[in-house]
Amino acid sequence: MLTALLFDLDGTLTDTDTLHLQAFRQLLREHDGRELSQAQFDAQVSGRANGELFAELFTGANAEQCQALAERKEALFREMAPCLEPMPGLLRLLEHAQARSLGMCVVTNAPRLNAEHMLSAMGLGQRFEHVLVAEELARPKPDPLPYLTGLQRLGAEAGQALAFEDSLPGVAAASGAGIFTVGVATTQTPERLLAAGAKLVIDDFNDPALWALIDSMQ
């Protein structure tokens, strides 16, 4: 029986990867004139937590400098995203879950300021019981810990939950926690999402296959 829904944020609740790519491109040009291609972003950046990512991108920078660069990039992103559109069908799913008293949680590798900004920009600031920020935990995605923590906060079992993810690290984290993981094909191909551990891939939350799955778990 379905009791809980756990959602990634960037690329899952709202399609933000284009904005993140623009922010990274501006930061890299400001810093050392580097360029970042869409293919590099998809393969090396999308879905990853900032700590490890910025240490890789700026190999000559110390931890304090990497933190300052990350904060600059996220500030650029928030400036570019004053308003955000929920993914098609998301509000329908949230209303369905609320009517059935399903637990709902956001599990994100985004920093806390970004998570709060994005939810507010979508008008969803009060819709989730918990917003778990992976950087506030011991290990971010692709480690299962953020999703295991989400299940614990909701008092749910993995077999009674669905997770929604668009990135390969996110799919690995959710499936590694034993949750039936639905890949949202905004930033990766269905083939890559399935190879990472997704059990179903959808285009958006109106997908009939998703609703058939939900019906089968009620």
Tokens of 166: 């668009």
CA–CA distance, 50 with 56 (Å, rounded to integer): 10
Residue 8 appears among annotated catalytic residues: yes
CA–CA distance, 125 with 110 (Å, rounded to integer): 15
CA–CA distance, 191 with 172 (Å, rounded to integer): 14
**Set 10, 15, 17, 42: catalytic member:** 10
CA–CA distance, 141 with 48 (Å, rounded to integer): 7
Name the 3-class secondary structure at 14: strand
Name the 3-class secondary structure at 105: strand
Q: How many CA atoms lie within 13 A of 145 on its CB side?
A: 11
**Set 8, 15, 17, 143: catalytic member:** 8
Q: How many CB atoms lie within 10 A of CB 79?
A: 11
Residue 203 appears among annotated catalytic residues: no
Helix or strand run (H / E) with residue 162:
strand 161-165
CA–CA distance, 156 with 103 (Å, rounded to integer): 8
Helix or strand run (H / E) with residue 104:
strand 103-108
Instruction: Please list the active-site residues.
Output: 8, 10
